[in-house]
Amino acid sequence: MTLAQRIAAHFVAPAGELASPRADRTSSRPGRSRPRGERSSPATARGLPARGEPRRHRPREYPDDTTRQAQPPVTGTAPPPAVAVLAPPADAPAFGAALGLALARSRRTPVAVVCVWAPDPVRSVWRAPAMPAAARVAAALRARGHDATAAGRLVVVRLSAACEEAASQALRVGAAAGSAPTVLALAGPRVAAFDALLAMQDLVVVAVAPAADAALARLATAGLERALTCAVPPADPGRALAAAGLALLPSTRRALAAPVAAVS
């Protein structure tokens, strides 16, 4: 054997040794086991039936058993709270507006309805532009014949000065308010014509001044199942913001924490 033949035999592998690993690699590849010329579609590769074959529906399997477990019944949401306020004429509109905003914030509703009754005309205050939800509710109440005005997130309804008619109007407003919390602000002492309506409320709040006589508060809540007294928030910018339907300052939220927690 010449020197060139020895070098070729040392560095060049025989043809038989080169063919066998190639064959092993080819046979180990997935999909190469089928004869050449046959092609598999993407559907058959994923285990799906080929085109033209009927689709086979397998029964759904559950972790514990082949039967579906009974789902718990869906419970409805709690009805919106209805709260009445007994306050002096100068404080009732702003107190009712602040309580309405606090209830809407607690229940995460876009609007609250505040009905205001006063034996004498109430001084008008500046009100913020209406939010869309409040504007829709106010329009619906006006279509039913109520004196409704939207301001911010509030809908303020002016009730008739006559007690019996005002009680009937407040009852109809509460039925048409939908999912919005309602506040009935009575600007003045407790009147017998409103007793039946007060008994239907979830809570009656007696707003008293810091120097007011405690006996008057007890007299106002006599015969009511759910009633509490609450101090009137001070006449600060937070009170004006609440009356305008804009927002509640932290001081006003703290002053109304007890009534809101009682109906939450």
* Amino acid at site 202: D
Between 250 and 62, name the one with better pLDDT.
250
Question: What is the pLDDT at residue 223?
Answer: 77
Question: What is the pLDDT at residue 127?
Answer: 87
* Gyration radius from the chain CA atoms: 39
Question: What is the pLDDT at residue 191?
Answer: 85
Question: What is the pLDDT at residue 154?
Answer: 96
**Residues whose CB is less than 8 angstroms from the CB of residue 174 and which lie 6 or more positions away in sequence, other chains included:** 82, 113, 115, 182, 184
pLDDT band at 138 (very low <50, low <70, confident <90, very high): very high
Q: What is the DSSP letter of 235?
A: S
pLDDT band at 3 (very low <50, low <70, confident <90, very high): low
pLDDT of 263 higher than 90 = yes
pLDDT single digits (tens) 107-120: 999 999 999 999 88
Question: What is the pLDDT at residue 225?
Answer: 83
What is the C-alpha to C-alpha distance for residues 244 and 149, in angstroms, rounded to an integer?
11
Count of CB atoms situated within 10 Å of the CB of 71: 6
DSSP lists the bridge partners of residue 151 as 154
Q: Contact at 8 Å (CB) between 173 and 185?
A: no
Q: What architecture is domain 84-258?
A: 3-Layer(aba) Sandwich (3.40)
Between 54 and 77, name the one with better pLDDT.
77
pLDDT band at 208 (very low <50, low <70, confident <90, very high): confident
pLDDT of 72 higher than 50 = no
Q: Contact at 8 Å (CB) between 96 and 137?
A: no
Question: What is the pLDDT at residue 43?
Answer: 53
Count of CB atoms situated within 10 Å of the CB of 228: 14
pLDDT band at 103 (very low <50, low <70, confident <90, very high): very high
pTM of the model: 0.69
Name the helix (H) or strand (E) containing 25.
Answer: helix 15-28
What is the domain partition of the chain in residue ranges? 84-258
Pick the closest to residue 99 from 183, 173, 174 (CA basis): 183
Question: What is the pLDDT at residue 221?
Answer: 74
**How many H-runs (helices) and E-runs (strands) does the chain carry?**
11, 7
Question: What is the pLDDT at residue 10?
Answer: 60
In terms of DSSP bridges, do strands 154-158 and 112-117 run parallel, antiparallel, or are they unpaired? Answer: parallel
Question: What is the pLDDT at residue 74?
Answer: 40
Q: Contact at 8 Å (CB) between 104 and 153?
A: yes
* Amino acid at site 95: F
Between 170 and 54, name the one with better pLDDT.
170
Pick the closest to residue 171 from 192, 135, 146 (CA basis): 146
Question: Edge-to-edge strand order for the sheet containing 147-151?
Answer: 147-151, 154-158, 112-117, 182-187, 82-87, 203-208, 227-231
Between 24 and 5, name the one with better pLDDT.
5
Across residues 36-45, what is the average pLDDT? 54
Q: Contact at 8 Å (CB) between 92 and 187?
A: yes
What is the C-alpha to C-alpha distance for residues 188 and 238, in angstroms, rounded to an integer?
23
Across residues 171-196, what is the average pLDDT? 92
What is the C-alpha to C-alpha distance for residues 181 and 158, in angstroms, rounded to an integer?
17
Burial class (CB in 10 A: 0-12, 13-18, 19+), 64: exposed
